Chain A
Amino acid sequence: MSTLTDPQKESFRLSMLLYDSRYRSATIQVVALIGFIILVGWLIYNTSQNLAALGKGIDFGYLVEPAGYDINQRLLEYSSRDTHFRAAIIGLLNTLVVALLGCITATVLGVVIGVLRLSNNWLVSRIMAVYVETFRNIPVLLWIVLAMAIMIETLPSPKAFRGDNATASMMLNDSVAITNRGVYVPEPLFSRGLGDIHLFGNSSIRFDISLDLIAILIVLAASIWAVNRVKHRADKIQDSTGDRPATWYLQLGLIVVPVGILLAILGFHFGYPELKGFNFKGGTHFRNSLIALWLALSLYTAAFIAEIVRAGIMAISKGQTEAAEALGLRSGKIMSLVVLPQALRVIIPPLISNYLNLTKNSSLAIAVGYMDITGTLGGITMNQTGRELESILLMMLVYLSISLSISAVMNWYNESVKLEER
């Protein structure tokens, strides 16, 4: 039988940093960190030194100078006398628009294609496989350029709509014009509108909020609240009597009638595009640069999303489907009620990366002359002012913020659908 003795109190020796396995990993990490910091410090020092030698220190003052150039697609009011900062905001909004449109379209397309790829119909599943392999294996830039080239070369120019022997005509009862400069669709107008609220005076971040839109949203919110009350009441009746009263006409009426009355009060009507002078005037103009970029990004990303959806569905065991079949559900219901909700847990995390990719790929916009933030701040502004480093740093910051925001939102959504483990 051995006796326990107090362990000898070890004194710390310097050599233990290297030879004692308890400290070694810490030593290595500290050395690596110091080396990394030195490298970063040297890079920053070297850059600022060389910029100073060129006489071009870091200076963001150019952002408040007048931009001097025009932007075709602007969601906020903008003129060439506005500042470079304002131009950057206009570009940022254009980036966000194409990213949002692209993400929605890519998700819808991707889910449909992913589900169809698992179809028992041989032809359908093969066609979807061809689609996925074609789109995801060719660089997205080529798709963007191709979409643009097709629109420019095959669609009629506004000139073709003019004159007695016009070779092109407007569609859908003369309300939609498809030209090689973009698509013109009717726009909603209010003849007795409530006007706008102007915020932030004359500064670079000024914007208008449409009171009409706010009024519509308020009425819509009230309608939805009322619909919920109706549902609640129906639930109560069902609980007490076992019969659920038919409420669909009430719900429909509660949504449609108040909004309809409000629109009538505001004098809602459509503004139709019309050929005037060189171009169509009136209506909403979707420029072909936006359409080409939107289409190419959506189709390309949809191919990736389809694969993610397919993987998610295949991760759900066959037994789930069979159990649902045994309960008498039809295949459409099985997909939407049993398989997809479970598959979402597998699908969401890689879906986030694809949303981020789509957003970052939207910076290829310059290939078709779409004025996103790369086109304004990182293009014309950078070029006309010669502030390359500042503009690139700002753009990196912007893309980083957008990506982190998308990540945060999607992670929050992921939390809400993921499996509750107890």
Chain B
Amino acid sequence: MNKSILFGALTVAGLAAGAAAAGTLDDVKARGKLNCGVTTGLVGFAAPDANGKWNGFDVSLCRAVAAAVLGDENAVEFVPTTGKTRFTALASGEIDMLARNTTWTFSRDVDLKFTFVGVNYYDGQGFLVPKDLGVSSAKDLDGATVCIQTGTTTELNLSDYFRVNNISYEPVPIETNAEGQQQFLAGACDVYTTDASGLAATRATFENPDDYVLLPEIISKEPLGPLVRHGDDEWGDVVRWTLYALVSAEELGVTSANLSEMTAGTNNPEINRLLGTEGTLGDMLGLDAGWAKAAIAVGGNYGEIFAKNIGEETPIGLARGLNAQWTEGGLLYSPPFR
């Protein structure tokens, strides 16, 4: 009995790895559905609403890719993954792409054999504490109990930060954001740490968000971006340029409001190339000429997606900061569509 389970597991591993070797773009087209890995629930980034429809910043990217490849923003199967299961899910071919606040690091790129196709949110690790704890700096946290999601870069940053500053802490490992929230609100940990954007999103769901503050220290660089498996560059290109299409659209002033007007033809050749009325960019990717138009039509350009899901008008209230266009002092910089 035990033996058969072992061999069953090995078979699955073998078959899954076999599946991963084929062309993902063709697989997705043949399947008629994109399998997109997201978080198990982080409001603003990826969370199902009351009707079970997934919404959020990362979800919008999945939908944009589905629209570009399949022409249908709803042809997405959202696969919730935890910090622990996400990489196995991607490596085994269970999902085609991962859009789940995942930090681009050297070892994930090189050793885990993934390709980060770009950055859709420039983030850093922060600390969330209750106001009445009376702490104003992360350096005051000596001896604190810290809730932390396991299997994340934040876990390693935390260890390094406390070691460098020569202060101690007690880690409480948790599996999902929901568990962390429960423990933090019950006072089982003093501090909750993860990416600052995630903390803002979590705080927005609290009953009394104003009783909690983000400490000023941002202790790491966390470039979050979508990733795909190593070795399938055609598919990597599709996801990469869909992301850049959204970024370029904002830079070029293409919005969901003026999209159809722009498609009729403009005197800016780059907009024409992006929207497929000039040149054969879609063809080169193995997609329709209107791929970028379809992607932008889902939720608008990058700026619109940001504003709608996590921007300052939403309860999460994140400023653009580093995530503004390069023309406005941010880091968003799309290579030209040419």
Contact = CB atoms under 8 A, between A and B. Distances in A.
B159 interface: yes
A50 B17 contact: yes
B19 to A, nearest CB: 10
B156 interface: yes
Given A50-B18, A152-B182, A388-B88, A55 B188 contact: no
A70 B84 CA distance: 16
B322 interface: no
B151 A277 contact: no
A379 B151 contact: yes
Given A72-B171, A366-B175, A47 B10 contact: yes
B246 to A, nearest CB: 29
B230 interface: yes
B156 A369 contact: no
B14 interface: yes
Interface stretch (B48-56, B140-148, B263-271, B292-300): B140-148
A180 B182 CA distance: 12
Interface in B146-185: 150-151, 155-156, 158-160, 163, 169-175, 179, 182-183
A396 B155 CA distance: 26
Given A276-B143, A371-B173, A50 B14 contact: yes
A231 interface: no
A55 B113 CA distance: 8
Given A46-B14, A50-B18, A53-B21, A277 B188 contact: no
A47 B151 CA distance: 25
B198 to A, nearest CB: 17
Nearest to A42: B14
A253 B175 CA distance: 53
A314 to B, nearest CB: 29
Interface in B3-27: 6-7, 10-11, 13-14, 17-18, 20-21
Given A39-B7, A181-B188, A69 B159 contact: yes
The secondary-structure label for the interface of chain A is helix
A379 B149 CA distance: 11
Contacts of A405: none
Given A157-B186, A181-B188, A40 B174 contact: no
B187 A157 contact: yes
A404 to B, nearest CB: 12
A371 B171 CA distance: 10
Nearest to B168: A70
A53 B182 contact: no
Contacts of A152: 182-183, 186, 188
Interface in A149-165: 149, 152-153, 157-160
A69 B175 CA distance: 15
B112 interface: yes
Interface string B87-108: 1100100000000000000011
Contacts of B10: 43-44, 46-47
23 contacts: A40-B7, A43-B11, A46-B11, A47-B17, A51-B17, A54-B230, A55-B230, A69-B156, A70-B159, A149-B182, A152-B182, A157-B188, A181-B145, A277-B144, A369-B173, A369-B174, A369-B179, A371-B173, A379-B151, A379-B173, A384-B155, A386-B108, A386-B112
- Pairs of residues from A and B, 7 with the lowest C-beta to C-beta distance, nearest first: A157-B187, A50-B17, A383-B151, A46-B14, A386-B112, A80-B159, A369-B173
Interface of A: 39-40, 43-44, 46-47, 50-51, 53-56, 68-72, 79-81, 149, 152-153, 157-160, 180-181, 276-279, 281, 288-289, 366-367, 369, 371, 375, 379-380, 382-386, 388-389, 396
